[in-house]
Amino acid sequence: MLKVKGLTKYFKIGPWWNPKKKIAIGIEDITFELKKGESIGIVGESGCGKTTLLNTLLLIYKPDRGEIWLYGRNLITLPESEQRVLRRGFGILFQDPRGAINPRWTVEAIITEPLDIYKTKLLNTERMQLAKEMMDAVRLPYSYLKKRPTELSAGECQRVALARSLILKPDMLFLIDEPTSNLDAINQALIIKLIKDIQKAYNFSILFVTHNIALAKHVTDRILIMRKGRIVEVVESKSLTKGYGSGYIHELMEDL
């Protein structure tokens, strides 16, 4: 479904007035494929390029080189109008649930916002039915549709954000910067279980950014190990054990 070839993004470092800025590697020569229904973890130390990779895939950053093939089309070369249509197939769940949703809106307005952004022509009854379907998926009562984020816990806010990310029935869910890290252990486990259960029901693919390789092992099928902007190893999640690897990879394995 997704093929990434030689994806590269550089950043210029230095004062805005200096024409001779230094060049820093964000990501370099990233190549991998993601199949329908597959989950891939992107793991590495802080600053290794994990988030830059996802932001480049989403075209938040314009790549300097490489290709992003989505549904058989190179996303980078398409006009913005066509990119927008294809990007409807992306769902995004951010790290901070409260920072990712409008505190003044009702849960219903938050969840159905993507329908407005993509100008989906639906009757009010159809919109409400979709909202209720998402509430069922994330296991929140319908009465919460009239509540506002200030009335909810952090875990409930993250479930609302998850419902919003899925209402367009995306083919791919991006989990950016470990979306459970701001939650307590009970809610972390709940969100991860919800994501896995919903993935099984809706058959979407997942790209999961985290520094926690133990969590990635639990959630994903394969793991891309990143260091200094590059993929240094691709590992089948089920093959990871305490004694796997050496050097940099062995250090990442310490929390298994």
What's the average model confidence in pLDDT over 66-81?
Answer: 93
Q: Whole-model pTM? A: 0.89
Give the range among 60-64, 78-82, 171-175, 179-183 with minimum mean pLDDT.
179-183
Banded pLDDT at 77 (limits 50, 70, 90)? very high
Residue-level pLDDT at 246: 65
For the chain, what are the domain ranges?
A: 1-89+205-256
Mean pLDDT of the chain: 90
The CATH H-level superfamily of 1-89+205-256 is: P-loop containing nucleotide triphosphate hydrolases (3.40.50.300)
Residue-level pLDDT at 98: 86
Residue type, 109: A
pLDDT 10s digits, 183-220: 787 888 888 899 999 999 999 999 999 888 888 888 89
- Chain centroid to CA 93: 5
Residue 173's CB is within 10 A of a number of other CB atoms, namely 22
| Residue 74 near residue 3 (C-beta atoms within 8 A) | no
